[in-house]
Chain A
Amino acid sequence: AQSVTQLDSHVSVSEGTPVLLRCNYSSSYSPSLFWYVQHPNKGLQLLLKYTSAATLVKGINGFEAEFKKSETSFHLTKPSAHMSDAAEYFCVTSSGNMLTFGGGTRLMVKP
């Protein structure tokens, strides 16, 4: 079975500093991996997805993630945090079209 583990439940950064949200996956074959963001009381919005093409995936709002098979990781990064980035972030894998979500990481951005 496929699964993802988000290593931090909460991450706090200052505005303008880099963001790193960590995700490890477990899969018996090349996975499909996604990052979704959820702002308070809102639905989930797709940030980016990996589908075995390029290992470095660029998403919306300046986010990107790198698929590292040797480390079974798919960490989400952004060079400079903005106040509007404060939200819950989910690392997600899929099997067929069944999505399996990680536990989520709440990103807090301090002024």
Chain B
Amino acid sequence: EAEVAQSPRYKITEKSQAVAFWCDPISGHATLYWYRQILGQGPELLVQFQDESVVDDSQLPKDRFSAERLKGVDSTLKIQPAELGDSAMYLCASSLLTGLREETQYFGPGTRLLVL
């Protein structure tokens, strides 16, 4: 069964350093999402792509976070500089289409970030 791939699985960094996470969605899925999940809470959407275009980045802290999906396939989420409060699990998800509220999103295993 096809899965969403993410790397690295774990990342430890010092504050003020730059970090980057990678996601490869299920083949053929046009929509890609990045979520942040703080320990003990549900995930919150950071950014949504439709192919290579950003559909929603209203919750992305743009002063330090950036995301791209240049060829409409895999995606990179970057944080520069990292802050202590960025410690969280970063989840990537993908779905086949967009605009359908019953559509299933498939999640990757996540990248757990610890900022020291």
Contacts and interface: CB of A to CB of B under 8 A. Distances in A.
B100 A101 contact: no
Contacts of B93: 44
A24 interface: no
Interface size class of B (residues with CB under 8 A): 20 to 34
B108 A97 contact: no
Contact of B91 (A44, A49, A51): A44
Given A41-B112, A90-B42, A99 B107 contact: no
A87 to B, nearest CB: 14
Interface of B is mostly: loop
B42 A97 contact: no
B53 to A, nearest CB: 14
A95 B4 CA distance: 22
Interface in B1-24: 4, 6
CB-based closest 6 A-B pairs: A101-B42, A51-B102, A43-B107, A44-B107, A32-B102, A43-B109
